[in-house]
């Protein structure tokens, strides 16, 4: 419902009904996951034709970038819309557009690096290896002024009862 409400600002130029006519902008039925310039006979700009040569499909990230700022994402586009800055509104709009003839386009698994609160590595730092926790005890004492890191508690106590051999 929120995506349909967000589409209200698009309706002056677009519709998204199956078989619907183009307006000032192309009909957007089936646009999610579909080819850029998907409406045969619509007079797309030369800029959009150039964009299609570089990015041929309207995937989620591509639509998100275009809806955020069309003229920045496709310089020279005929679309004069300023864009939608609010992330949740764009997500809702794209989800609703997907429900208009694009439901077969898979929804990708969440990318943990793009989740709210995910910290990007500082400049010059490498990201943790895939599958590795972001913080891991190294066995070394923390630097002065830094908190100590901890390891997760093991699921069961160690089986050996003799003391561990000294580290070499």
pLDDT in tens, 21-54: 999 999 999 999 999 999 999 999 999 999 999 9
pLDDT in tens, 73-132: 999 999 999 999 999 999 999 999 999 999 989 988 888 887 777 665 555 544 444 443
Confidence of residue 154 (pLDDT cuts 50, 70, 90): very low
Residue 91 lies in a domain: yes
Residue 60 lies in a domain: yes
Is it the case that residue 140 has pLDDT exceeding 80?
no
Confidence of residue 57 (pLDDT cuts 50, 70, 90): very high
| Integer Cα distance of 101 and 154 in angstroms | 49
Residue 71 lies in a domain: yes
Residue 116 lies in a domain: no
69-73, 102-106, 144-148: least confident range: 144-148
User: What integer pLDDT is reported at residue 147 of this predicted model?
Assistant: 42
Residue 6 lies in a domain: yes
> Which domain range does residue 78 map to?
2-98
Q: Does residue 16 contact residue 97 with C-beta atoms inside 8 Å?
A: yes
User: What integer pLDDT is reported at residue 138 of this predicted model?
Assistant: 38
Residue 61 lies in a domain: yes
Residue 66 lies in a domain: yes
Please report, for the domain that includes residue 66, its CATH number. Answer: 1.10.760.10
User: What integer pLDDT is reported at residue 10 of this predicted model?
Assistant: 96
Number of structural domains the chain divides into:
1
Residue 46 lies in a domain: yes
């Amino acid at each position: 419902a929120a995506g349909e409400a967000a589409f209200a600002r698009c309706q002056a130029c677009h519709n998204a009904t199956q078989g619907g006519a183009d307006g000032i902008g192309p009909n957007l039925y089936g646009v999610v996951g579909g080819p850029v310039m998907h409406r045969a006979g619509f007079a797309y700009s030369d800029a959009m034709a150039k964009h299609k040569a570089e990015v041929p499909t309207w995937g989620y990230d591509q639509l998100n970038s275009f809806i955020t700022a069309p003229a920045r994402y496709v310089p020279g586009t005929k679309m004069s819309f300023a864009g939608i800055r609010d992330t949740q509104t764009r997500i809702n709009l794209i989800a609703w557009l997907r429900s208009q003839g694009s439901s077969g386009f898979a929804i990708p698994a969440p990318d943990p690096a793009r989740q709210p609160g995910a910290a990007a590595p500082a400049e010059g730092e490498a990201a943790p290896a895939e599958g590795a926790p972001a913080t891991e005890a190294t066995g070394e004492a923390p630097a002065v002024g830094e908190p100590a890191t901890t390891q997760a508690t093991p699921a069961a106590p160690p089986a050996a009862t003799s003391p561990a051999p000294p580290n070499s």
